[in-house]
């Protein structure tokens, strides 16, 4: 969600955490304030609705930021709310002792860092079964994994500390990502369960990363996390990373680039094109497999080329004698002209037919306009959006 954050918020733990970039938060702090995007406003609106529903407040048509609440939002939020209350109903039926809360401030000032706190979307603590259950709602489309998610690990540490859970290394932690608008094979509700002992090691790693992030010379570390970093356009490390050259070019937008800047951007674009070409090839293989199995893949279809006549490899020597009889020159060591070329040069099709085979038509993946895609992804051509 957008708004005021602590210097090391759990929601940015993917950025400053153990697998992120130690210098990212300081780089971001140097950037001018960012305007809210349509996606972030929608995300905030969906979180308003979620908060109301988890608190069983009456429904609303407009969020606090003025964004209208639509049916897509209601459906998305209902998924998280149903999951949350189903779990509570089970605990309640068993007469367990538990509490639950939503968007209540929690701090990991001792376990992680004095500047580390945030507000988890959903927390449930079962004192009878020694379970902490945390749910984080994502309204964006970009896939967020539950496994190894540093944000929910950080919330778990904050909940342990805020609620002073004793002997928490003996507890179980159930960390869930609810992402209704991401179409992933694991579904929109993704869970990661770990023991308190396993959590402890990760919290220690978070703590080390947090202290490294406030060092004055915290190093820059590029990676997938860069695409969510507000300093991306300004970051020297990122500028050298080929995979994100295209993003850099789009964010610069300068009309007076120096020769050095032009040269660098051209070089980075070249790298990016190779990177994207390789990825597209890999994607096409997978898409082809899915289409072969009868799945519908938005924007893609299979197209077959025309079948082609070829010389039968086992009968090439006879074929050479036949085409030479018709006066077609054959150069030793050089492939025969194709059957089609030979026919153009006067060779009788019926005569060469015994020496010819027809190959299977070539298959290729093509892009198509697709109403199904519009139905799945809405009216946007590009279904990718930032997470909120
Ligand atoms: S763009 Fe990447 S390397 Fe640069 S500060 Fe941000 S996260 Fe770090």
Q: Give the domain ranges of the chain.
A: 10-225, 230-295, 308-359
Residue 100 sits at φ, ψ, to 5 deg, of -140, 155
Q: In the chain, what percentage of residues exceed pLDDT 70?
A: 85
Question: What spacing in Å lies between the alpha carbon of 231 and ligand 1's midpoint?
Answer: 6
Split at pLDDT 50, 70, 90, the class of 311 is: confident
- Please give the pLDDT value at position 80: 96
| Per-residue three-class SS string for 202-270 | HHHHHHHHHHHHCCCCCCCCCCHHHHHCCCHHHCHHHHCCHHHHHHHHHHHCCCCCCHHHHHHHHHHHH
**3-state class of 41 per DSSP?**
helix
- Please give the pLDDT value at position 25: 95
Q: Hey, whose CA ends up nearest to atom 7 of ligand 1? A: 226
State the first-to-last Cα distance of the chain, in angstroms, to the nearest integer. Answer: 5
Q: Residue 218: CB within 6 Å of ligand 1?
A: no
For residues 351-361, average pLDDT: 85
Q: 100 versus 305: which is more confidently predicted?
A: 100
- The residue to mutate among 27, 215, 218, 247, having the most atoms of ligand 1 within 8 angstroms of its beta carbon, is 27
What is the spatial distance between Cα 104 and Cα 54, in angstroms, rounded to a whole number?
12
pLDDT of residue 387 exceeding 50, the answer is: no
pLDDT of residue 23 exceeding 60, the answer is: yes
Question: What spacing in Å lies between the alpha carbon of 41 and ligand 1's midpoint?
Answer: 24
Q: 379 versus 349: which is more confidently predicted?
A: 349
What is the spatial distance between Cα 79 and Cα 73, in angstroms, rounded to a whole number?
10
Split at pLDDT 50, 70, 90, the class of 2 is: very low
pLDDT of residue 376 exceeding 70, the answer is: no
Q: Which of 3, 8, 5, 21 is nearest to 114 (CA)?
A: 8
Instruction: Summarize pLDDT for 37-67 with one digit per residue, the tens.
Output: 888 899 999 999 999 999 999 888 899 999 9
Residue 104 sits at φ, ψ, to 5 deg, of -105, 135
Name the one residue in this structure whose structure tokens are 């970039």: 21
130: left (phi over 0), alpha (psi -120 to 50) or beta: left
Question: What spacing in Å lies between the alpha carbon of 138 and ligand 1's midpoint?
Answer: 22
Mean pLDDT of the residues in the chain = 85
For residues 270-299, average pLDDT: 72
Question: What spacing in Å lies between the alpha carbon of 242 and ligand 1's midpoint?
Answer: 13
Q: Which CATH class is domain 10-225?
A: alpha beta
- Please give the pLDDT value at position 113: 97
pLDDT of residue 137 exceeding 90, the answer is: yes
Q: 18 versus 323: which is more confidently predicted?
A: 18
Question: What spacing in Å lies between the alpha carbon of 64 and ligand 1's midpoint?
Answer: 32
Q: Residue 220: CB within 6 Å of ligand 1?
A: yes
Split at pLDDT 50, 70, 90, the class of 171 is: very high
Are 208 and 18 in contact by the 8 Å Cβ rule? The answer is: yes
Residues in the chain: 388
pLDDT of residue 299 exceeding 90, the answer is: no
pLDDT of residue 265 exceeding 80, the answer is: no
- The residue to mutate among 213, 231, 236, having the most atoms of ligand 1 within 8 angstroms of its beta carbon, is 231
Are 102 and 122 in contact by the 8 Å Cβ rule? The answer is: yes
- Please give the pLDDT value at position 1: 41
- Convert 149-178 to b/e letters by CB count within 10 Å (16 or more is b): bbbbbbbbbbbbbbbebeebeebbbbbbbb
What is the spatial distance between Cα 288 and Cα 298, in angstroms, rounded to a whole number?
12
Question: What spacing in Å lies between the alpha carbon of 215 and ligand 1's midpoint?
Answer: 15
pLDDT of residue 282 exceeding 80, the answer is: no
What is the spatial distance between Cα 276 and Cα 282, in angstroms, rounded to a whole number?
10
Q: Hey, whose CA ends up nearest to atom 4 of ligand 1? A: 235
24-38, 72-86, 229-243, 271-285, range with greatest mean pLDDT: 72-86
Name the one residue in this structure whose structure tokens are 């179409």: 183
Residues 6+ apart with CB under 8 A from 376: 183, 298, 383
144-153, 242-251, 295-304, range with greatest mean pLDDT: 144-153
Name the one residue in this structure whose structure tokens are 């860069």: 226
Instruction: Summarize pLDDT for 78-128 with one digit per residue, the tens.
Output: 999 999 999 999 999 999 999 999 999 999 999 999 999 999 999 999 999
Looking at residue 68, what DSSP letter applies? B
Instruction: Summarize pLDDT for 176-219 with one digit per residue, the tens.
Output: 999 999 888 889 999 999 999 999 999 999 999 999 999 998 99
- Please give the pLDDT value at position 3: 43
- Please give the pLDDT value at position 372: 56
Q: In the chain, what percentage of residues exceed pLDDT 90?
A: 46
- Please give the pLDDT value at position 74: 93
Q: Residue 226: CB within 6 Å of ligand 1?
A: yes
Split at pLDDT 50, 70, 90, the class of 134 is: very high
- Convert 8-41 to b/e letters by CB count within 10 Å (16 or more is b): bbbbbbbbbbbebbbbbbbbbeeeeeeeeeebbb
- Convert 273-290 to b/e letters by CB count within 10 Å (16 or more is b): eebeeeeeeeeeeebbee
How are beta strands 122-126 and 117-118 bridged, if at all? Answer: unpaired
For the ranges 83-87, 138-142, 177-181, 269-273, the lowest mean pLDDT is seen at: 269-273
Q: 192 versus 362: which is more confidently predicted?
A: 192
């Amino acid at each position: 969600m957008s708004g005021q954050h602590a210097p090391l918020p759990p929601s940015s733990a993917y950025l400053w955490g153990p697998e992120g970039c130690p210098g990212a938060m300081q780089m971001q702090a140097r950037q001018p304030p960012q305007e809210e995007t349509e996606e972030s406003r929608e995300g905030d609106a969906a979180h308003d609705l979620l908060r109301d529903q988890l608190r069983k407040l009456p429904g609303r048509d407009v969020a606090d930021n003025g964004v209208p609440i639509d049916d897509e939002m209601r459906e998305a939020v209902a998924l998280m709310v149903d999951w949350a209350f189903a779990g509570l109903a089970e605990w309640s039926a068993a007469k367990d002792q538990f509490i639950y809360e939503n968007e209540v401030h929690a701090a990991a000032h001792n376990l992680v860092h004095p500047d580390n706190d945030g507000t988890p979307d959903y927390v449930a603590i079962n004192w009878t079964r020694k379970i902490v259950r945390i749910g984080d709602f994502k309204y964006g489309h970009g896939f967020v994994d539950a496994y190894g998610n540093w944000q929910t690990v950080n919330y778990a540490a904050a909940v342990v500390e805020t609620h002073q859970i004793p002997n928490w290394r003996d507890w179980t932690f159930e960390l869930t990502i609810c992402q209704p608008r991401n179409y992933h094979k694991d579904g929109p509700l993704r869970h990661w369960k770990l023991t308190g002992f396993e959590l402890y090691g990760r919290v220690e790693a978070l703590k080390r990363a947090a202290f490294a992030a406030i060092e004055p010379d915290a190093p820059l570390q590029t990676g997938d996390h860069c695409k969510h970093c507000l300093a991306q356009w300004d970051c020297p490390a990122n500028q050298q990373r080929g995979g994100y050259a295209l993003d850099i070019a789009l964010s610069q937008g300068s009309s007076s680039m120096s020769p050095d800047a032009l040269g660098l951007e051209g070089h980075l674009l070249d790298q990016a094109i190779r990177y994207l070409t390789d990825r597209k090839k890999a994607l096409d293989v997978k898409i082809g497999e899915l289409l072969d199995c009868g799945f519908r893949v938005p924007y893609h279809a299979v197209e077959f080329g025309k079948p082609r006549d070829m010389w039968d490899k086992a009968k090439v020597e006879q074929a050479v004698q036949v085409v030479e009889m018709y006066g077609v020159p054959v150069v030793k060591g050089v492939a025969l002209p194709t059957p089609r070329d030979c026919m153009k040069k006067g060779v009788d099709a019926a005569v060469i037919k015994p020496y010819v085979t027809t190959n299977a038509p070539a298959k290729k993946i093509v892009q198509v306009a697709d109403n199904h895609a519009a139905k799945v992804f809405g009216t946007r051509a590009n279904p990718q959006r930032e997470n909120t």
